[in-house]
Every structure is written in structure tokens, then in C-alpha cells.
Structure 1
Amino acid sequence: MKRFLTFLCALTACIPLCAGGKKDIRNADMTESPAARAEFKAAYRKKIPDGEPVKLSEVWGWVMQGKESELDFDFPLTDIGYFAADIDTYGKLDNIPDRNVLSGFPGRVHLVLVCDSKSLTHFILDPAFGLRDKLIADILAASEPFDGIQVDYELIPGKDSDNFMTFLKLLSAGARKKDKLFSVCVPARVKTISDDTFSYPKIAELSDRVMIMAYDEHWSTSLPGPIASVSWCEKIADYALTVIPPEKLVMGLPFYGRSWANEKTAQGWYFSGINRIIDQYDSDKVEYINDIPTVDIKMDVNVTCWFEDAYSTVQKLRLYTSRGISYAAFWRIGQEDPEIWRWITLLEKEEKEQP
């Protein structure tokens, strides 16, 4: 039991680093160099994959601005999604990554576009507000030093589905004129949804790559569970292959973990609630400091963690390659079990071109 509690404490200590999916990136504020991660020793007995490394044609990794030091140019990556250009209060392109920071990377680097506000997303997509066309022109201008443009707009209001498709059509046409690879991130689906804002077939027609974010099967406010179970990923891949050409399909995998606690301690309280926990935990040592009552309460909190390591990641990669999918992407560089890089190898050009 003591060893288990020690393990839980170790995992809890790393929560700021590894509890971040795309919705939680502001909580992931710790940075480790690739060399430091390579020397990392696990606090548990890890399962080791068997067999040969997984062979992939394209390996994408998202790199965040300000955390470029977590990238090693020797990682087996073909593409980097540089995260990310945002939209400011007035609907203008903002926070554009500096491509020169990654000048040593030999592969392709893509400008990733995000908008973390549903209201702003509505205003930039609806042509009635006069922002869309100027934004597209600014995106195309900002993409000059990049090899591709990637749209990761995840907060699309339902009424803007048609506007979103029109935006993608216009931006895709502009990207192709500039000879830029155009990709779009989409949420996980296991079946066709009527009136889906992220229609796989429609988006596949407009893009060179469709990046399926096959993670967050369980999320920060759900019940505890895996970030991406193998069985869930299998359903996503099998459905995707029925509506997306395999040469455009990129399966996204998580590097991060999440934790759930049975008690929420950092919150606002009613007076009656404070009294309840004081009584519940026998913490009657209330004192007044500068006329304000305060108390320290020792609470028992159970933390459940689900996370990814090299073994779980390899299992999913092998699932995908067994389906003929040879493109994978990882959210995100810096959050990974460093052992994973030993289990990924890039297909040689000759192998790719074989019929």
C-alpha cells in the first residue's frame, strides 16, 4: 500500500506537465529538454513492446511556441505542426509562430491556426461581419515561410457549419496556389453524424490531410478513464477508412495523461460548507488572523490517473498500421514517454513507392 501511495504522489506531482490535452495547454507549463527526458526513469514497472519498431510514412508532432526546447531534431518526425497562430479580440491573426526558430528541422513545418472562443469563431467565419476574407489573406501571407497550413478550429457554432466549409474551401484554394500542404484537425467520430460540422467526407475533399484527434475519450470533467483506449481507436479508424482516402488520413495519438480526484478542494464555499468539512475532518483549530477566520484541514483525497507510455502508444500504432494507415500525429512533443522514439521508424522512400 505504501508503494502505491508513493506512486500516486509521484504521478500527482507531474500533473501540470502531462494533464494537458488541447483544451488544457495552459496548465502544461513545465518544460524538459529531450536530454533530460531521455534520462528519465519510470516510477513503475513498465511493459515493454515486443517485435520490431513501427514503420510509418509520415510522423507529425505538434510543437508549442515557447516549448521548442522539448523538440530534438533527431526525433523520427517528417512534419511539425507549429502551435499556434490565434485570433485577437478584433478578429485579426495574432501570435504567429516564428518559423526561423525551427530552422534546423529538416522536415516540413506547418502553421497551425486556432481560435479558442466560440464567439470569435462565429464572427470570423460569418462573411456578414467583413472579417473572413481579410483573415484568409493574412493567413496566406503569414504562411510564406511555412510548408503547410493547418486549421484547428474546434469551437464552431452549429449555425456556422456552412460558413466553416466555405472558409476551408477558400483557404484551401489559396494554400494550393502557394503550393502549401493544407490540413484540417477534426474530432474523433465512430459513425456518421447527421449535420456534422466536422463532416469527414466534406473536409477530406478540401484538404490534403485530415488529422483525426483520436484522444480525450475521457476528459477533465468526465468520469476517470483512458485518454484513448485501443478498442475506441479501432472504431474510429475503421469508420474513418470508409469516408477518408487513406492517403489523406492522419491518426492523432495522445502523449499526455489525466488525473481525477474524488474531492475538489480548490473552490469557493458556502459558510455552511466550510462548517461541514471542519466538522467532518475534526479540524476545529480555527484562528483569527487580522480579524479573519482561517483553518488548515487535512483531507484524504484519492487521485486516479490514466496516462500513455511507449507500450500503450505502440499498441495503437500497430492497430493503425494493421489497417493500412501509415500517417500518425502526436499531441504533443514534450509530453511523451521518451522510450517511444525507439519504437518508431520512417519508411524509406523506396518502400513508400512500392505498389
Structure 2
Amino acid sequence: SNAKISLQYWDGYASYETYLRQLSLIPGKATDYVDYVSPNWRGSIGTDGSLKLVWDEGSSNYKQLTNMAHGLGMKVLPLINGSGATLNTLLKSPAAREKLIGEIVVLLKNTNADGVVIDFETPLDYGDVKDPYDGVRNDLTAFMESLHSELQSMNKLVVMAVMPRMSSSQYWLDAYDYEALSHAVDYLHVMTYDHHYRTSAPGPIAPYPWIKQVLTYIQGQGVDMSKVLMGIPYYGRDWVVDGKDANGNPTYNSTAFGYSKALELADSYGATITYSKYNDADPVGTPTFKYTDEKGVEHTVFFDDYTSWNAKLSIINEFGLAGVGPWAMGWVDENTAEGLFPLLNQHLR
């Protein structure tokens, strides 16, 4: 079978040393496991389209990291992310959109990077429930089309990360015109994780049947699935009740951590790990356990392991997807890398 794309988010918010450490976790030959790495060098985005980076403009860090990845045969796609009200204002202004594109072009020239990942989340201006085009839907598409034509002429890649959607009733995701956006990108990375999130009730972060539901919806929008990257989480969460809402129902908070930490926690509290099935269409389920801490507080943990990752990775071939975009290498350590990268190779190569 033809090789699939492995886009690894090279940590969300890393120091120079952390980026290097994560690069060293990829076994040799690196391109057997990874095609693209996406570092997050964005400091902030202004409503006027100005882009500030994490290190000083003159810092050699950007070029050195890019050169290290290139030396291993991988391409580098910096992550440009933003959300909420700032994005609304920026997207509504053609001048701000053009400015941001200009800043991205400068970033790529200065760093020798190979393209970008655009991750614009939850634009609040999603328009009227009955009229998605009343919001920033057209503006977001127009931005991506301009960016794509600009970067295409430089022979640079455009990947767009989009939020996952299961049905048309989720009107707050109307900013994403999946079909139109799929023509303005090289790859569309559907972020199929955070089905349960930091402040939700405990539950699986990326249950297998839900991933398939999201991909089926996207397919139904007319998207060429051979351009789609599927998300999987490298992190788990530990939830506790942290209060009550106005109706007296419990509210939750959680912390995220990697696979090794999940096993360590279960072990230290003598907890039994079981597999929770989302529904009957879930082949293996998601690893989960409960424990009570020293203060008598009850915790519920959901995480992924080689068994659940393996099941999810099989969806790539089933849907004829381009490959995978997991979040994020920051949760991977030496122990996890030993099993994880061979698993990626098995499904993608």
C-alpha cells in the first residue's frame, strides 16, 4: 500500500531543549515514522494580522531546529494557531488577513520551514443558526484560499487543522466550510480528540465510534478523504469533581498527562485498568481506571494505550485517509516511544 502521512505535532509550547529531546525520541531512520513535524513558534496573533514569535526575531533557534529536522529527512510546518474574538476581528478584515499571510511568508523565508499548519479554533462569529454565511465562514475560506495560492507559488505546504463535527445541528462549528476548505489546503487535519475535555464530565478523549462518526460527516460534506489527516491523542486526563453548577449538578476539572504517567498512577494507587466501550461499535474501548487520593478525593482517568491506538489507526485505511496528526509529541517519553513509533510505522508504511 502507498505510504500515509505522519504529521507529528512537535509539542505545543516547547523550549529549544525540549524540541531537541523530542526529536531524539524518533527512532532511526526517522522518515520510517514521521514525515512532518509541527513546532509551535507563535507567541501571539494581533487583530491586525501581526504575528509575534516565541523567540527574538534574530534567534537562531528556528533555523537550527529546522535544520535538525531536515537532516533527519523530515519537513517542518510551524503551527499558527488562534481562537475566539481575536480571530473574528482578524478574519473580518481583508487587510488583516493579507498582513498575516505576509507575516507567514516572512516566517517561512527566515526559518527555511516547509509550510504551515493553520489551527483557527472556535471563531465566535458563527453567524445565525439558519445562515452560516452570516458569520466568518466566507472570510475563513477566503483567508485559506489566499494563503494557499501564496504558499503554493513558493512551493510550500498548507495544512489546516479543523474542529471535529458530527452533525449539522452543531451550528457553532459553521465557520468551517469543510468542502471549500479542502480545496484550499494540501491536507485537512480533523482534530478528532477532546470529545471529553478539561472541564467536561470524565470520558474517552477520542472514542473509536465517535472518530468514525466525525469522518463520516466530513465525507458527507463532499471532502476528498485522501486529503484528510485523522487526529489521535497522545494524552490522557484525570478528572475530579470541583464544585456544583446552578442546578446542583457536579462540575469537573482535569489534568492531562502521557501514557507512562497514567500507568504510573494506576500502579501507585493499585487501581485496575479496564477498557470502557463507547457503544457496541467500539472494538476495544478506551483504557480507564478510578482511584481515591490521600485526601479522599475520587479521580477518574481515561487515556490511550497501544491497544486503543492500534484500533483507531486502522480507521485510516478504512476511510482511505491521507494519514494521521496526533497531539502531541510533548506527551511522549522514552518508554512510550518504543511502542508508539513502530505502531505508526505498521499502519502508515
Query: So what's the TM-score if we normalise by structure 2?
Result: 0.68
- Structure of greater relative contact order (alpha carbons < 8 Å, 6+ residues apart): 1
* Aligned equivalent of 1:100: 64
The equivalent position to 2:160 in structure 1, one of 184, 201, 211, is: 184
Partner of 1:261, secondary structure, is strand
1:78 is aligned to 35
What amino acid does structure 1 have at the position aligned with 2:299?
V
Take 1:80 and 1:112, find their aligned partners in 2: how far apart are those partners? 10
Alignment of 1:254-265 (within 5 A): 254-263=233-242
1:334 aligns with 2:330: yes
Dislocated runs of 4+, deviation >3 Å:
88-91, 191-195
> Is residue 313–residue 347 contact of structure 2 (8 Å, CA) maintained in 1?
no
Query: 1:223–1:317: structure 2 CA closer, same or farther, 3 Å change rule?
Result: same
Correspondence for 1:16: none
- The structural deviation recorded for 1:182 is 1.0
- Mark the CA change 1:196 to 1:71 in structure 2 (over 3 Å): closer, same or farther: same
What does residue 138 of structure 1 align with? 103
Instruction: Give the structure 1 partner of residue 10 of structure 2.
Output: 63
Shift of 1:167: 1.2
Q: Any idea what SS the aligned residue of 2:42 has?
A: strand
1:102-141 to 2 correspondences below 5 Å: 102-105=66-69, 106-116=73-83, 118-127=84-93, 130-141=95-106
CA RMSD for the aligned pairs? 2.6
Give the drift of 1:122: 2.2
Q: Which runs of 5+ in 2 are unaligned?
A: 56-61, 127-134, 245-293
Deviations 1:45-90 (A, max 9, x none): xxxxxxxxx9852111001331312233435101111224243456
- 1:1-355 aligned at under 5 Å gives the runs 56-64=3-11, 65-66=14-15, 67-68=18-19, 69-72=21-24, 73-74=26-27, 75=30, 76-88=33-45, 91=48, 92-95=50-53, 98-105=62-69, 106-116=73-83, 118-127=84-93, 130-144=95-109, 145-157=112-124, 158=126, 159-192=135-168, 196-242=174-220, 243-263=222-242, 299-336=295-332, 337-338=336-337, 339-345=339-345
- Listed as ranges, the gaps of 5+ residues in structure 1 are 1-53, 266-297
Pick closer, same or farther for the CA change 1:185–1:231 going to 2, 3 Å.
same
Which of the two has higher C-alpha Rg? 1
Deviations 1:117-153 (A, max 9, x none): x22212222227x433222111112122111121101
**Which residue identity lines up with residue 122 of structure 1 in the other structure?**
N
Farther-moved stretch of structure 1 (165-174 vs 154-163): 154-163
Give the residue type in structure 1 aligned to 2:303: F
Write out per-residue CA displacement over residues 266-304 of structure 1, whole angstroms, 9 at most, x where no aligned residue: xxxxxxxxxxxxxxxxxxxxxxxxxxxxxxxx8420010
* CA–CA separation in structure 2 for the residues paired with 1:257 and 1:215: 11
